[in-house]
């Protein structure tokens, strides 16, 4: 299947931010049912939004994590925390964004975000 330039750009950036191993696992798990969705997120999220040069990857990472925390998408939060190893967002950045989450979306949400962050950091530290 021939992919668009936007898709190719998105796939390259997706690999850079999330890591090639993660993307290869996602691609291997792709089925006919979710292929169109995978194409959409690769082109729209990664090929269009994340590829813009207005913000750097660190800034996009911080905003993405805050939004995912606010919506309670915990698996995605963990995935994007792991991606900070590639985006330049620091643990201090994540502490700050969680404080923002506490004020603007609620303490219980931030409390759970801290739990997810601590576990994800522990997992990341074990790998190193």
* Domain harbouring 77, CATH code: 1.20.1290.10
Residues 100-117: tens digit of each pLDDT = 999 999 999 999 999 999
* Same-domain check for residues 75 and 97: yes
Taking a C-beta distance cutoff of 8 angstroms, is the pair 107, 41 a contact? no
Which contiguous run of DSSP H or E holds residue 2?
Answer: none
Which domain covers residue 31, as residue numbers? 1-52
Q: What is the mean pLDDT of the chain?
A: 95
**CB neighbour list of residue 89: distance below 8 Å, 6 or more residues apart:** 58, 61, 62, 65
* Same-domain check for residues 46 and 60: no
* Same-domain check for residues 124 and 78: yes
Whole-model pTM: value is 0.91
Residues 64-91: tens digit of each pLDDT = 999 999 999 999 999 999 999 999 999 9
């Amino acid at each position: 299947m021939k992919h668009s330039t936007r898709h190719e750009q998105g796939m390259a950036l997706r690999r850079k931010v999330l890591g090639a191993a993660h993307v290869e696992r996602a691609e291997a798990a792709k089925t006919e049912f979710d292929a169109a969705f995978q194409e959409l997120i690769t082109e729209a999220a990664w090929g269009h939004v994340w590829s813009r040069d207005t913000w750097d990857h660190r800034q996009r990472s911080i905003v993405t994590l805050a939004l995912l925390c606010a919506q309670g998408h915990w698996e995605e939060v963990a995935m994007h925390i792991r991606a900070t190893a590639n985006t330049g967002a620091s643990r201090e950045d994540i502490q700050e964004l969680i404080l923002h989450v506490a004020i603007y979306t609620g303490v219980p949400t931030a409390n759970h975000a801290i739990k997810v962050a601590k576990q994800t950091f522990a997992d990341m530290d074990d790998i190193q």
